[in-house]
Copies of this chain bind each other. A is one copy, B any other.
């Protein structure tokens, strides 16, 4: 057996940050556009942009700089605050994974060592 988990950050009972927005911001970072990120994740532009705006409101932080129009047809890039959030969330999830495996072993595999 192995342990699996899902985690998210909440404020006042509302989800503020989790796997969904993490993947979405990562896709915007890689593809340079909300539209392409949405397509990559099989979402509508409206859903993607709505999710980003909701997260910005709840975090109280601007996550994207949008470039409308222009020769390349516009695009979006992450703010330094969004980059920081992605980096923290990623290393947080890695540490959580390690900790959960250790705790699983302690409680279910070698309880006598715990």
The interface of chain A, by Cβ under 8 A from chain B, is: 1-11, 15-17, 88-89, 91-92, 95-96, 99-100, 103-104, 106-108, 111
Q: Are B88 and A7 in contact (CB under 8 A)?
A: no
18 contacts between A and B (CB under 8 A): A1-B9, A1-B17, A3-B7, A3-B8, A3-B10, A4-B7, A4-B8, A4-B10, A5-B6, A6-B7, A88-B107, A88-B108, A89-B107, A91-B107, A92-B107, A92-B108, A96-B99, A96-B100
Number of copies: 2
Contacts of A96 on B, CB cut-off 8 Å? Answer: 5, 99-100, 103
In whole angstroms, how far apart are the Cα atoms of A16 and B1 in the complex? 8
